[in-house]
Amino acid sequence: MSDTQQNTLQQDYILDEQVGFILRRASQRHLGIFASRIPELTPTQFAALAKLCELGAASQNELGRRTAMDAATIKGVIDRLRRRGLVATVKDANDQRRLFVKATAAGEELFANCVEQARKITDETLAPLSEKERLMFLQLLSKLQ
Amino acid sequence: MSDTQQNTLQQDYILDEQVGFILRRASQRHLGIFASRIPELTPTQFAALAKLCELGAASQNELGRRTAMDAATIKGVIDRLRRRGLVATVKDANDQRRLFVKATAAGEELFANCVEQARKITDETLAPLSEKERLMFLQLLSKLQ
DNA sequence: CAAAATTCATTAGTATACAAATAGATTTTG
DNA sequence: CAAAATCTATTTGTATACTAATGAATTTTG
């Protein structure tokens, strides 16, 4: 009876043990590491720039899809990168709907200068794990995408 | 020489393999699952309510600390929960700086009604993993908080 | 005890994130 | 080919998240 009552109020639901909560905390820690190592770009800005350097160029929405950002989000990210002269946009002549985006020389240079820190961000994020654990973790996390 | 040039431009940095990017994608997937199962609360609102039901009551900042939200964030979350009558706030008589927060009867009832779905959210998030993998994953993820 | 340091809550500003609606351009289809 | 469907980018609105600054209250310290 008292067990039933306790469950009605508390239900044995421990927030700190839920995967969503721990996922959020791990993300926060990672974002903190990122901000301390690459203060001039946010993780999403860096992702857009990195993917752009990887692809060469892409339409705005296509870039959003490749970096897991919806149309509204990628628009803001590209606007801010363009304002800083790190990317340039042109209307696609073949398809008037598309906005063609590419990294500028300054954007490519900034990306190149950040890559080393980006690798350290990955290392530092995974630092609490052994080499074996890192591989296992990345393998399991990848399944949850 | 061509190898050096390629590295200068591309640097072998594959965004999709970085832990931060995969972490963000896994979070996005989890948030989608959450929204589909508990549309009446955001994950942070649910976290605040759950922690409040777990603790009984707390000051606003204390609740923020317990749910990994900074002062500015928890303020917004509590404001929105209060507007909907799910929590109530009172000035702490013993410490005039503190704002005492507790769940209302409606808040406790909503939490109780959501707990079952919350468990399913955890299950669905981890569904791509076997039982063994889930334990391993949670153990490793917890180290990265 | 008084000054200094800390804590608490609030505010303003910036940056994701996503839903929903819109308008124009392109593709698909009947 | 014309209508329907889809795609692209934009806009609006809401909700985290964090930084930095502020003022009021409390605690610590010399």
Q: How far apart are CA B135 and CA B126, in angstroms?
A: 10
Percentage of chain A exceeding pLDDT 90: 92
Nearest-CA residue to the C1' of C18? A70
Contact A107, A87 (CB under 8 A): yes
What is the predicted pLDDT for the residue at A10? 64
What is the predicted pLDDT for the residue at B11? 73
Strand C contact residues in chain B (83-112), C-beta within 7 Å? 92, 95, 97-100
pLDDT band at A8 (very low <50, low <70, confident <90, very high): very low
Q: Indicate yes or no: strand D within 7 A of the C-beta of A112.
A: no
Q: How far apart are CA A84 and CA A58, in angstroms?
A: 19
Q: β-strand A99-103 against A57-59: which pairing, if any?
A: antiparallel
Q: How far apart are CA B29 and CA B88, in angstroms?
A: 32
DSSP secondary-structure letter at A69? Answer: -
What is the predicted pLDDT for the residue at A23? 98
Whole-model pTM: value is 0.91
Cβ B129–A115 below 8 Å, yes or no? no
Q: How far is CA A93 from CA A59, A88, A98, A100, B125, in A?
A: 12, 15, 8, 9, 43
Per-residue pLDDT of chain B (145 residues; tens, 9 = 90+): 333 333 345 678 999 999 999 999 999 999 999 999 999 999 999 999 999 999 999 999 999 999 999 999 999 999 999 999 999 999 999 999 999 999 999 999 999 999 999 999 999 999 999 999 999 999 999 999 9
Burial code (b: 16+ CB inside 10 Å, e: under 16) for B23-49 equals: bbbbbebbbebbeeebeebebbbbbbb
In DSSP terms, A59 is beta-bridged to A100
What is the predicted pLDDT for the residue at A83? 97
What is the predicted pLDDT for the residue at B2? 39
